[in-house]
């Protein structure tokens, strides 16, 4: 009986030692992988996509939130990262918090979970963009990132971006009065949109209604202009019915 108890105690001791060793090794691997994750994000901030690629495996796959697809390949990931680097400047990962990834038994397995906020400036408007971010990075035995799953609100990326808008404007003084004033105000529009693409359409059913399409609009500049009382005075002077004027943001399907 005593031998049996001694054997069970020894077995339990060896199991606990093995479990502790396994957890210790997993946490050491996690610490190394956290350092890799930080370097991975730093390379993105520095717009060095080739450096980012050096941290991932040849069979790397990527799961961003907007696609509805489980895994995208390395080629599409790289094209998208290059696009982000073109669209944003002064990219910085802030408020970063790193946690150990867990296996099916809720034990650390070396993978990395990370929370934080990406801050940047829109490259066109030089206005700030902030995006809360969560990701899980899965590593292979060689310490390379094999898969990255990300969660964020893709709409945050459109903050302070250039926007296409349409305005439906009823006219109180007739089309000719409005058109003359609108065309003379070209310089004002050049300050907040791509005036070369501005399109004016007259309603075929109502000659006293127009649709104006403005492209690549800097909404911050437009908002500042519209807050100026002089803007309303000018619009009224050329016959715009401001109470019934409607403005829409155009989005691609």
Structural domains in the chain, sorted by start? 2-158 (3.10.450.50), 162-250 (3.30.70.100)
pTM: predicted TM-score of the whole model, two decimal places: 0.71
Whether the pLDDT of residue 156 is over 60: the answer is yes
Q: Where is 71: in which H helix or E strand? A: none
Residues 49-73 have pLDDT tens digits of 999 999 999 999 999 986 556 788 8
Residues 86-123 have pLDDT tens digits of 999 999 999 999 999 988 888 889 999 999 999 999 99
Segments in the chain forming alpha helices (H) = 2-45, 49-53, 74-87, 175-184, 186-190, 219-227, 229-237
Would you state the structure tokens that stand for residue 233, as one six-digit string? 């005075």
Whether the pLDDT of residue 130 is over 70: the answer is yes
Nearest CA among 131, 135, 148 for reference residue 56 = 148
Strands across the sheet containing 88-102: 72-73, 56-63, 145-151, 128-139, 108-122, 88-102
């Amino acid at each position: 009986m005593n031998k049996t108890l001694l054997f069970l105690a020894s077995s339990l001791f060896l199991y606990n030692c093995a479990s502790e060793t396994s957890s210790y090794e997993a946490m050491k691997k996690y610490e190394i992988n956290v350092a890799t994750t930080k370097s991975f994000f730093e390379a993105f901030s520095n717009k060095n996509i080739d450096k980012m690629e050096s941290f991932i495996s040849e069979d790397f796959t990527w799961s961003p939130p907007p696609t509805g697809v489980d895994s995208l390949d390395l080629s599409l990931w790289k094209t998208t990262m290059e696009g982000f680097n073109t669209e944003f400047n002064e990219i910085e990962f802030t408020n970063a918090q790193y946690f150990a990834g867990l296996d099916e038994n809720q034990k650390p397995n070396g993978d990395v979970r990370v929370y934080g906020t990406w801050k940047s400036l829109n490259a066109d408007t030089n206005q700030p963009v902030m995006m809360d971010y969560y990701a899980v990075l899965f590593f292979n035995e060689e310490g390379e990132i094999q898969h990255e799953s990300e969660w964020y609100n893709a709409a945050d990326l459109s903050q302070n971006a250039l926007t296409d808008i349409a305005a439906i404007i009823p006219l109180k003084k007739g089309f000719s009065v409005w058109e003359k004033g609108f065309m003379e105000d070209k310089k004002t529009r050049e300050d907040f949109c791509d005036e070369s693409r501005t399109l004016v359409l007259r309603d075929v059913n109502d000659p006293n209604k127009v649709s104006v399409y403005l492209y690549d609009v800097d909404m911050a500049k437009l908002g500042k202009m519209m807050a100026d009382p002089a803007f309303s005075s000018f619009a009224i002077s050329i016959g715009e019915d401001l109470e019934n004027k409607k403005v829409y943001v155009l989005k691609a399907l």
